[in-house]
Amino acid sequence: MGRIRLPLFVAAVITGAFVTALIFPAGRFRLASYTAAATAIPVQQPQSAPTIAAVVDRDISAVEKQLVDVAEAMPEDKFNFSPETLSIPGSDYKGVRSFAVEVKHVAASNWFIWSPLTGEKLPEGMGNDGNGPENLKTKTEIMKFLKDSFALGHRAAARLTTENMLQAPGNSKSTRLRLAEFGVAHAYNHYGQMVEYLRMNGIIPPASRTKSD
């Protein structure tokens, strides 16, 4: 009896292995497992390398937002405010720029600094004092002058390449890259002054406000 059962058991094992191989071929099973695992892994798209134009443009956008926001925050009836009018004891504000002239000075400087990079002509009436055209009086006119000057900055940044960034445009002694970034640094310098002008009028600068303000 035992002699009969052993061959039957071996035959059953062989038959089971054969059926399993038919249903789950080794190659197909491994391929299906690999495909499922590969599908579960998210594919990362390659990121393009940043360009010098994009990096500088981002810097210009950052300072543009700060300057435009702080200029917009000053009410029209206080746009010509000067610390000199406060007559603070011990202070020396005589002859300093008004808030409006601060804004015009930034815009005019942007034109002087960035126009060599694009080859564009300066706006009419710029003068040599760095304070922009005298005929710009209202907040609306001055704000347009400011925004147009930053639009120039974006055009200047777009022309920067790794090949020309260390070249000096026209008769300038500065490189294109230095001029592009100097415009940013200069604007930030005057942003700090304009913030103080707002504070002197009890106005919280936009960048310092909380959601509840």
Query: What is the pLDDT at residue 80?
Result: 96
Summarize the confidence of residues 44-69 as an average pLDDT.
91
User: What mean pLDDT, rounded, does the chain reach?
Assistant: 84
Q: Is 94 found in the same domain as 185? A: yes
**Residue 94, CB half-sphere, CA atoms under 13 Å: how many?**
3
Q: Is 58 found in the same domain as 30? A: no
Give domain status of residue 116, yes or no: yes
**CA nearest to 96, candidates 211, 7, 200, 205:** 200
Q: Is 44 left (phi over 0), alpha (psi -120 to 50) or beta?
A: beta
**CA nearest to 64, candidates 115, 98, 27, 107:** 107
- Give the CA distances from residue 145 to residues 53, 135, 141, in Å, rounded to whole numbers and listed in that order: 23, 11, 6
Indicate whether 68 pLDDT > 50.
yes
Give domain status of residue 112, yes or no: yes
Q: Is 62 found in the same domain as 150? A: yes
Give domain status of residue 18, yes or no: yes
Residue 56 sits in which domain range? 52-208
145-202: pLDDT as tens digits? 999 999 999 999 999 999 999 999 988 999 999 999 999 999 999 999 999 999 999 9
Q: Is 25 found in the same domain as 96? A: no
Give domain status of residue 94, yes or no: yes
Query: What is the pLDDT at residue 152?
Result: 98
Q: Is 22 found in the same domain as 105? A: no
Q: Is 86 found in the same domain as 134? A: yes
**CA nearest to 101, candidates 6, 208, 206, 193:** 193
1-42: pLDDT as tens digits? 444 454 444 444 444 444 444 344 444 444 444 455 455 566
More confident residue, 144 or 4: 144
